[in-house]
Amino acid sequence: MGGDRLFCDTALAARIERAEARLIVACNEAGRVRRGAGFARPLAGGVASLAEADSPFTKIAALGFDGLPSAAELDEVEQAFAELGAPVQVELCQLADSAIGAFFTERGYRLESFENVLGRRLGDTDVPEDVRLCREDELERWLAMVADASAVADTEGLPSHEDFPREALVRALRDMAGVRRYVAVRDGEFAGGASFRATDGIAQFTGAATLPAHRRRGVQTALLRARLAAATEAGCDVAVVTTQPGSKSHQNAQRQGFDLLYTRAILVKGTSATSSSGAESRQAS
């Protein structure tokens, strides 16, 4: 299962959060080509990303490892979010500077939810025969399948704080820059889809979804193993996945050797938020 269990210190957490920031920036920039608006700007070592009001890339992330943002910087970001009609969502790693949590709560942010970040070292992994790369001519079918599967939440674990309109989710999936997309096939049919991105040696598992008719058939496990093999081949040393606490996805990841590294607190100011870029917790198999 990839060797010794993975311990997460602040250095590894900062590395994973930096990779998360780079992913968000890349996806925001890909979407801006289509939208012609928005921004992704550095903020206290992390990123403030404004895409669309209902986009999973509209949030603040990866702060807490390089000081606090200034009040003026955050004022500007909050104003831009308000003009778009979007809540300001902050994803805050529990290993970040503890002062940053107090900074946001003093500004009126409230705790809305949590998400878990799991990781494992990479090693030899068999490639499942029923999972393959998505072909370019299958992209639209893949996007539709993942969006449809994501719309039907799994009933195990805590309810997810994610709830995106289908078309917004399709746009976000299309904007995911630099990812490799995979298809799981059962009985000749698309059963599920997943993706991952390699960033500075970190394999970011950027979502997975299984159609309801194919759940509890090992589809998500097969998608995990295929990406583990591909991440090793790509030269990554650590794979990470974000899940909803207590979810089937969390359980499946642990069975594949992932350890719980840390939890992110979801802090929100404004109307209830809906976003999180990488969570796989709604799509269990």
| Whole-number Å distance between alpha carbons of 100 and 105 | 9
Which CATH number belongs to the domain containing residue 161 in this structure?
3.40.630.30
Helix (H) or strand (E) holding 60: strand 59-61
CA 84, CA 86: separation in Å to the nearest integer?
5
pLDDT confidence of residue 284:
38
Which of 202, 200, 175 minimizes the C-alpha distance to 118?
202
Mean pLDDT of the chain: 90
In a domain, 227, yes or no: yes
Shared domain for 127 and 257, answered yes or no, is yes
Q: How many Å apart are CA 53 and CA 57, to the nearest integer?
A: 9
Residues 131 and 107 placed together within one structural domain of the fold: no
How much of the chain, in percent, has pLDDT values that exceed 90? 79
User: Is 1 among the domain residues?
Assistant: no
Residue of higher predicted confidence among 5 and 261: 261
Residues 110 and 177 in one domain: no
The total domain count for the chain is 2
Q: Degrees (nearest 5) of the Cα angle 126, 132, 137?
A: 165
Q: Considering the domain boundaries, does residue 283 fall inside one?
A: no
pLDDT of residue 1: 44
Query: 214 falls in which pLDDT band (50, 70, 90)?
Result: very high
Average pLDDT over residues 76-96: 96
Co-location of 23 and 94 in the same domain: yes
The 3 state secondary structure assigned to 160-223 is: CCCCCCHHHHHHHHHHCCCCEEEEEEECCEEEEEEEEEEECCEEEEEEEEECHHHCCCCHHHHH
Residue 140: the pLDDT is: 96
Bridge-based pairing of strands 88-93 and 59-61 is parallel
Whole-angstrom distance, CA of residue 47 vs CA of residue 77: 11
pLDDT category at 271 given cuts 50, 70, 90 is low
* Burial (0-12, 13-18, 19+ Cβ within 10 Å), 2: buried
Confidence of residue 162 (pLDDT cuts 50, 70, 90): low
The predicted model gives 93-105 an average pLDDT of 95
In a domain, 277, yes or no: no
Rounded (5°) CA angle 199-200-203: 45
Residues 255, 142 share a domain: yes
Same domain for 54 and 175? no
Residue 266 domain-assigned? Answer: no
Average pLDDT rounded to a whole number, residues 96-102: 94
Mean pLDDT, rounded, for 264-278: 71
Decide if pLDDT at 153 tops 60: yes
Residue ranges in the chain assigned as alpha helix (H): 10-35, 71-84, 98-106, 139-150, 166-175, 219-233, 248-255
Same-domain check for residues 38 and 101: yes
Q: Give domain status of residue 268, yes or no.
A: no
Residue 101 located in a structural domain: yes
Whole-number pLDDT of residue 283: 42
Q: What is the mean pLDDT of residues 23-27?
A: 97
> What are 2-22's pLDDT values in tens digits?
457 899 999 999 999 999 999
Tell whether the model's pLDDT for residue 273 goes beyond 60.
Answer: no
* pLDDT at position 285: 39
User: What was the pLDDT predicted at 260?
Assistant: 97
Residue predicted with more confidence, 237 or 162 = 237
Contact residues for 218 (Cβ-Cβ < 8 A; gap 6+): 285
Is residue 275 over pLDDT 50? no
What whole-number distance in Å separates Cα of residue 281 and Cα of residue 251? 10
| Confidence class for position 158, pLDDT limits 50, 70, 90 | low
pTM: 0.90
Whole-number pLDDT of residue 160: 63
Higher pLDDT, residue 273 or 270: 270
Residues 194 and 165 both lie in one domain? yes
Determine what percent of the chain is predicted with pLDDT higher than 70: 91
Q: List all residues 6 or more positions away from 197 whose beta carbon is below 8 Å from its beta carbon.
A: 23, 176, 177, 178, 179, 180, 203, 204, 206
**Same domain membership, residue 90 and residue 46:** yes
Query: How far is it, in rounded angstroms, from Cα 249 to Cα 210?
Result: 11
Indicate if 22 and 127 belong to the same structural domain: no
pLDDT for 86: 94
Instruction: Say if residue 46's pLDDT is above 80.
Output: yes
Query: Does residue 61 lie within any of the structural domains?
Result: yes
Question: Which has more confidence, 273 or 154?
Answer: 154
The verdict on 48 and 154 lying in the same domain is no
Same domain, 238 and 128: yes
**Token digits of residue 270:** 């404004």
Give residue 276's pLDDT. Answer: 46
Question: What domain range includes position 126?
Answer: 120-261
Where is the domain boundary, 116, 141, 176? 116
Q: Which of 81, 116, 151 is the last residue in one of the domains?
A: 116
